[in-house]
Amino acid sequence: MSDLSEAPIPDQQATPDRKSPDVRTPDTAGPGMLPAAGNAALARMLQGAPGGTAALAELVQFGGNAQVARFAGLGDGSAAPPAPGPVAPPAPVNVTVGAHGEEVRDAQIKLSRVQASALPLTEDGRYGPLTASAVRTFQTSAGIAPPTGVLDPVTKTRLDAAFAALPPPARTVLSLGSTGADVGFAQQKLNALGAAPRLTVDAVFDARMLVAVVKYEIGALSRFPTGTVDAAMWADLDKKVKGGFVANEGAGATPVEQNTPSGTATSLAKQVAGTSLHPVTGVGGLTRGPAVEELQQKLNKAGAAPPLKVDGAFGPLTTAALQAFQTGRVPPLAGTGTADKATWDALDAVAPGSTTGAVERQWTEEVGGHVYGMTGANASRYSWEIQKTRMVVTAKITFVGLAPPAAWFGHVESVWNRYMGVETASGKSMPIDFRMVRGAGGDANTVTVSAGKGRANAGQWFAGDKDAANTIPHEFGHLIGLQDEYQLHPGDFVQATGHEPPVGDATGAAVAVTPATIAANLQAAMVARSSANARAASVGAGVKEGAFAQQVVEAYAALATVTVPAAAALPGPPPVPAKPAVPLTGNLLRDLDAALPDDNPRYDTIQVFSYSSGSIMGDPGREKDPHDHGAQPRHIAQFMTILGQALGGTWEAKRR
Amino acid sequence: MILRLVIADGSQTPAVAESVEVADDGAISGWRSVSDGGVGWFAGHLPPGELAEVRALVGAIRAVPPPVPAPPESAEEVLELLATGPVSIAGIADGPGDWPSLAAASRRLLDRLTDFPRAAVAAHHPAPGVARLVHRGTDPVRVDLGDIAVGATSWRGYYELAGDWSGEVEGPGEVEAGPGWTYDIPIGVDGPGSVDGSGSVDGSGGVDGSGSGFESDVVVHLTIDFAILSGTTRVPVRASYTPAVG
Ligand SMILES: [Zn+2]
């Protein structure tokens, strides 16, 4: 309890030091003006009209032209994200079993890639026996004697050198009509560098990809467009965007696709439009706790006179100060004495930061083509407090039914308490601790605890869940507003994880039928309401997650849509509820969800046409991904923003 | 029909696919696929008092509720009423109001259903080292015991994981289970004897598949996965046994 007794740090409100986005302007050098014919050809291509080689031939006559460059500058790769800034190297010290942090994670990445580990190491930043064993193996192979298993400065230098000496991925020159994994990786990288519209990672070099390649050649490479991804373009793509190849990891040469970072991850689920992140505070809402403290701090910053005592109790003085703030706006807000969305919006504009606060997040997500959410009474509720030496995030839960097993509270902490916020300029750090506590009231979440071991959802957990070490931290993630990272559409996957959809099975080499046939079979299965047929047409035909499956998704979208007639309930077994008529939309995941019964074959079918991460918010049971595992920095980004608002500066989540 | 609830969740294996229906005369019937009280067919009659409560809750319903998204990981829950047709209730939590009350009562009916076994099979733990399938009800049920998967988890104190054991058993294949029928499966979680070497021990609590002594302060939970045959349809099911812990 000593944590709670720590006084909040004094106001250190400062304007967050936001850097302006680093946007390069397109290179406008080039010969002469583009003749009208070239404009027309380019315009057709940029509009995605079927073009192919003829259009390219027409266009390349005008390549290098300034107008082409300006044209291509719209949403092309010219806004490449800057490379991460230099990080000061840590002082050389021995790193060994029990150590943890970014340095350990960096070593794990390298040990797997130089194949010193037996299997790909889980990159969790925890120096355990597997990491130590890999270090010993590396030391032996590098002639460092004796092999200690300790990452001493000599070993680290040699490991860094061995990693740097790994050959770059061998790339294939790509042009219109090319297929295969490298096409998918190029699509990933073009997306990461801003291709608009995004390219489907389907490993097919089609006319849409041709447009993106040409735009990139002109806008980013400033060269006469060839319509090919040649060695020079590969070198540029690989320099600017990491990942996008398959590496053998560990002594057993396990092939592991290396994730391609893309954009900034937004792991928070989509907030319901028109809702506030602040709970209603004051009369009719919360009258105690962090929400009230936040209100008092912000009213003080907004000029409450005399200043309010920040005690988290909504009394007459707070009421009066709130009313004064409300009526003092131009135009005035109703002086209700209750902080609603409009009042909080006004307060946030005046005083964005505070050292404590409460969040009530109403959100939705689409998983497996179905919309889920936590809204209304089910909203995610949590609070945070910036103390002297750390930040504490608390989700309070009213447990209904059975009592929660004590181990659950520890499971939350062992998965989530792995990070600290680090202020990039000053190096100041602040551990972020997450806590699940029991409690009641308007700022608590409600969870029913049931006997047995069913599949938990955000509102019902099972006391007899032997996998609680994963399940409870996952559901806790929802309570702090995080979305799921499984069975996602590609665009949602990129947004949630910050990396491109994996290329996976690029060509469907084991699949004997075309994507168009599979798509037609899937549609027929939906019309027949047969999930077994859908699975047979996809998983059963050899379709696996990845680029080839996305070719099926595209082929399906191109089919003429039909309406699946309404179906009466079936008594079963297994019983099936009555289903209304389903007008198919061409969106495969949504159509599978709407037309087919919720059973194993449907789930398996949706799985191969969607994307899932291996993180704690993904599906670690199905997606074994040593790189994207457990809680990731993206999952706590919202607290980095809060630190910046309260303390100033730019904060990043680092392993601790 | 007064109401019919179907709950389905294909994200777990075996899938949840269950139903309960209450008829005008108070007859309650349905199917359970993943259940403590047995899996299979259930049928009986609700006492007049309970039927009246259900009628009152259903009678209060006038219109379809505003759509509420279901929480993440929720099963599909479709409630059919004459007044509304099928309505998705997965997003409707227990609480005040006509729809929350009806939704909660409907879910409870699915549990109540297991008090009326007709042709069902339940899991028991009659003695250390034994998992038992037991017929429930009056009618025979055809079961496929060709491929049985057993999970046993032992708990100490209040849900402190003490051990975890899983094994697969090649059983007798298709059999008809009628009144009085039982089938025993040796398990390795809390008694001597393992299951033909196919059991695996992956718990961290010192449980030994080849036989550690029974601990009297340990509570064992079981799941037994097999299939029930309905005509030509083979329906995977899970009978579970989850006595109170602590
Ligand atoms: Zn989830």
pLDDT band of residue A60 (cuts 50, 70, 90) is very low
What spacing in Å lies between the alpha carbon of A484 and ligand 1's midpoint?
A: 5
**pLDDT for the residue B93:** 87
Q: What is the ipTM of this complex?
A: 0.91
Shortest Cα–Cα distance, B31 to chain A (Å): 7
Say if residues A421 and A652 touch (Cβ distance below 8 Å).
Answer: yes
Q: Do B72 and B145 fall within a single domain?
A: no
Q: How far is A463 from chain B (nearest CA, A)?
A: 7
Total domain count for chain B? Answer: 2
In a domain, A50, yes or no: yes
Q: For position B62, what pLDDT does the model report? A: 87
pLDDT per residue as tens digits for the range A22-47 = 323 333 333 333 334 444 444 454 44
Give the nearest partner residue to A464 out of B11, B15, B153, using CB atoms. Answer: B153
Radius of gyration (C-alpha) of chain B in whole angstroms: 20
How close is the Cα of A613 to the center of ligand 1, in Å?
A: 12
Contacts with A456 from chain B: Cβ below 8 Å: 73
Q: Are residues A463 and A386 located together in one domain of the fold? A: yes
pLDDT above 80 for A153: yes
Cβ pair A451:B242 closer than 8 A: yes
| Residue A81 identity | P
Task: Kindly determine whether residue A573 and residue B235, on different chains, have CB atoms separated by under 8 Å.
Answer: yes
Long-range contacts, stretch A231-237, CB < 8 angstroms, 24+ apart: A231/A171, A231/A173, A234/A171, A234/A186, A237/A186, A237/A189, A237/A190, A237/A193
Residues A55 and A122 in one domain: no
Confidence of residue A18 (pLDDT cuts 50, 70, 90): very low
- One-letter amino acid for residue A213 of the chain: V
A26 versus A144: the higher-pLDDT residue is A144
- CA of A493: how far to CAs of A483, A499, A621, B75, B239, in Å? 11, 8, 18, 22, 36
Q: Which residues of chain B have pLDDT under 50?
A: 192-214
Enumerate residues 556 to 575 of chain A having a beta carbon within 8 A of any beta carbon in chain B.
569, 571-575
Query: Residues near B216 by Cβ (< 8 Å), separated by ≥ 6?
Result: none
Q: Tell whether the model's pLDDT for residue A3 goes beyond 70.
A: no
Q: Separation of B76 CA from ligand 1 center, angstroms?
A: 15
Distance CA A620, CA A632 (A): 13
CB A256 within 8 A of CB A249: yes
Q: Which of A373, A451, A574 sits opposite B33 (nearest CB)?
A: A574
For residue B244, what are its two tokens? 């109170």
Q: Model confidence at A452, in pLDDT bands (50, 70, 90)? A: confident
Looking at A27-41, A416-430, A489-503, A572-586, which range is the least confident one?
A27-41
Mutate to test the interface with B, among A599, A605, A606, A619 (most CBs of B within 10 A): A599
In a domain, A544, yes or no: yes
Residue A613 pLDDT more than 50?
Answer: yes
**Contact A319/B at CB under 8 A:** no
Residue A180 tokens read as 């295969």
Residue A355's closest CA among A382, A386, A383? A386
- The answer to whether residue A587 sits within a structural domain is yes
Please, which residues 432-461 of chain A have a Cβ atom closer than 8 Å to chain B? 446, 448, 451-459
Residue A132 sits in a domain whose CATH number is 1.10.101.10
- B235–A572: do the CB atoms touch at under 8 Å? yes
CA of B73 to the centre of ligand 1 (A): 6
- pLDDT score recorded for residue A61: 47
Give contacts of A601 with chain B, Cβ < 8 Å: 10
Burial of A324 (0-12, 13-18, 19+ CB in 10 A): middle
Q: For strands A445-450 and A460-462, give the pairing.
A: parallel
Looking at residue B203, what is its pLDDT? Answer: 30
Q: Give the predicted TM-score (pTM) of the model.
A: 0.88
Q: A579 to chain B, minimum CA–CA distance in Å?
A: 8
The answer to whether residue A250 is domain-embedded is yes
Name the band, by pLDDT with cuts 50, 70 and 90, for residue A75.
Answer: very low
A209 lies in a domain? yes
Give CA separation, A78 vs A182, A284, A332, A354, A625, in Å.
22, 51, 45, 37, 31
pLDDT of A68 reads 43
DSSP-derived secondary structure for A514-578 = -HHHHHHHHHHHHHTT-HHHHHHHTGGGT--TBHHHHHHHHHHHTSPP-EEPPB--B--SSPB--
- Structure tokens, A42: 């380019």
In a domain, A224, yes or no: yes
A335 found inside a domain: no
Q: Which pLDDT score, from 0 to 100, does residue A34 have?
A: 35
Contacts of A373 in chain B (CB under 8 A): 69-72, 91
**By residue range, what is the domain housing residue B109?**
3-113
> Does B147 map to a domain?
yes
pLDDT digits (tens, 9 = 90+) for B211-239: 344 456 889 999 999 999 999 999 999 99
What's B209's DSSP letter? T
Please identify which residue in the block is written with the tokens 């270090």: A135
Backbone angles phi, psi at A574, to 5 degrees: -75, 140
- Shared domain check, A191 and A114: no
- Measure Cα distances from A175 to A45, A172, A198, A229, A503 in Å: 16, 10, 18, 6, 18
Q: Is the minimum CB–CB distance between A621 and chain B shorter than 8 Å? A: no
**Three-state secondary structure of A51-108:** CHHHHHHHHHCCCCCHHHHHHHCCCCHHHCCCCCCCCCCCCCCCECCCCECHHHHHHH
Do residue B75 and residue B167 come from a single domain?
Answer: no
Distance from CA of B13 to the nearest CA of A (A): 7
Tell whether B219 is covered by a domain: yes
Question: How far is Cα A260 from Cα A235, in angstroms, rounded to an integer?
Answer: 15
Q: What is the domain range of residue A67?
A: 36-71
Radius of gyration of chain A (CA): 27
Do residue B31 and residue B98 come from a single domain?
yes
B80 and B188 inside one domain: no
- Judge if A155 and A214 occupy the same domain: no
Interface touch B73/A572, C-beta < 8 Å: no
The identity of residue A71, as a single letter, is F
pLDDT digits (tens, 9 = 90+) for A184-195: 999 999 999 999
Average pLDDT over residues A457-478: 94
Q: Are residues A475 and A533 in the same domain?
A: no
Of B71, B228, B233, the CB nearest to A459: B71
The answer to whether residue A446 is domain-embedded is yes
A260: pLDDT strictly greater than 80: yes
B194 and B177, same structural domain? yes
Least confident of A619-628, A639-648, B46-55: A619-628
CB distance B72–A365 less than 8 Å? yes
pLDDT at A428: 95
How many CB atoms are located within 10 Å of the residue A392 CB? 19
- Work out whether strand B160-169 and strand B141-156 pair parallel, antiparallel, or are unpaired: antiparallel
Q: CA of B130, closest CA in chain A: separation in Å?
A: 19
User: Residue A642 and residue A645: Cα distance in Å, rounded?
Assistant: 5
| Pair B90, B132 in one domain | no
Are the C-beta atoms of A428 and A414 separated by less than 8 Å? no
Question: Closest Cα to residue A155, out of A105, A101, A94, A91?
Answer: A94
Cα(A459) to centroid(ligand 1), Å: 11
* Residues B227, B129 share a domain: yes
* Mutation for A interface: B5, B6, B222, most A CBs within 10 A: B6
Q: Test A405 with B160 for CB contact under 8 angstroms.
A: yes
Same-domain pairing of A117 and A156: yes
CA distance A465 to chain B (A): 9
Q: Which residue shows structure tokens 């005399």?
A: A306
My answer on whether A568 and A603 are in the same domain is yes
Same domain? For B108 and B173 the reply is no
Q: What is the per-residue pLDDT for A9? A: 36
- B56, B79, B113: which is the final residue of a domain? B113
- The pair of three-digit structure tokens given for residue A285, joined into one six-digit string: 């809402």
Rounded to whole angstroms, the Cα distance separating A377 from A569 reads 31
Question: With an 8 Å Cβ cutoff, are A600 and B13 in contact?
Answer: yes
Name the residue among A474, A484, A548, A486 with its Cα closest to residue A517. A548
Q: Which of B174, B206, B200 is nearest to B187 (CA)?
A: B200
Please state, rounded to an integer, the average pLDDT across all residues of chain A.
Answer: 88
Q: Is residue B109 domain-shared with residue B124, that is, in the same domain?
A: no
Chain A environment of B68 (Cβ under 8 Å): 375-376, 378
pLDDT of residue A70: 43
Q: Which of B85, B235, B242 sits opposite A574 (nearest CB)?
A: B235
Interface test with A, best of B19, B89, B223, B225 (most A CBs within 10 A): B19
Which residues, at least 6 apart from A108, have a Cβ–Cβ distance to it below 8 Å? A117, A121, A122, A123, A124, A125, A131, A134
pLDDT at position B246: 82
To which H or E segment does residue A249 belong?
strand A245-249
Under the banding of pLDDT at 50, 70 and 90, the label for residue A285 is: very high
> Could you tell me if residue B194 is inside a domain?
yes
Residue A464: which of A448, A483, A451 has the closest Cα? A451
Quick check: is B246 in a domain? no
A577 and B86 in contact by Cβ < 8 A? yes
pLDDT digits (tens, 9 = 90+) for A78-112: 333 333 334 444 556 888 999 999 999 999 999 99
The CA-CA-CA angle for residues A186, A191, A193, to 5°, reads 95
pLDDT of residue A4: 32
Q: Are residues B197 and B138 in the same domain?
A: yes
Of A223, A258, A293, which residue is a domain's last?
A258
Say what the pLDDT of residue B196 is. Answer: 35
Residue B213: the pLDDT is 40
Say yes or no: B96 and B129 in one domain.
Answer: no
Q: Please tell me the total count of domains within chain A.
A: 5
- Sequence length of chain B is 246
Structure confidence at residue B216 (pLDDT) = 66
B70 plus B166 within the same structural domain: no
Number of CB atoms found within 10 A of residue A581's CB: 10
A447-456, A509-518, B157-166, B189-198: segment of lowest average pLDDT: B189-198
**Residues in A touching B30 (Cβ below 8 Å):** 575
